[in-house]
Amino acid sequence: MLSDEHGFTLVLMNPQAMRQEMRPYPDGFHIGFLLDTPEQVEQTYQRLVAEGVQFLHEPRKIRKSYGFYFTALDDILFEVSCPLSLQATAPQESA
């Protein structure tokens, strides 16, 4: 169970715990958290790094967004990103 200070709660349950048949997730299934700015994406990434989360890659431009992916909770794919607009641009990658 995940909850935040805004009253959002997400519960993911193992079907076996409810004596239900295991069903695979469809291709491309993932849980996404959409943030407002690239800076918020970077802050979230750094917070998760400090918690020891392993990532598929560092935050980067992905199509028309800026973000990153990681897996957790029995290999569920998570995305944290923000849309890139004319006002919000991805931080420059260091050389």
* Range name among 8-12, 40-44, 46-50, 87-91 with the lowest pLDDT average: 87-91
* Full-model pTM: 0.66
How far is it, in rounded angstroms, from Cα 40 to Cα 34?
10
Position 40 scores a pLDDT of: 93
Residue bearing the bigger pLDDT, 67 or 27: 67
Domains and CATH numbers, the chain: 29-83 (3.10.180.10)
Closest CA to 67 of 52, 76, 57: 57
On whether the CB atoms of residues 3 and 51 are closer than 8 A, the answer is no
Query: Percent of the chain scored above 90 by pLDDT?
Result: 25
On whether the CB atoms of residues 48 and 56 are closer than 8 A, the answer is no
**Tens of pLDDT, residues 52-74:** 988 888 999 988 899 999 888 77
| Tokens standing for residue 86 | 């004319």
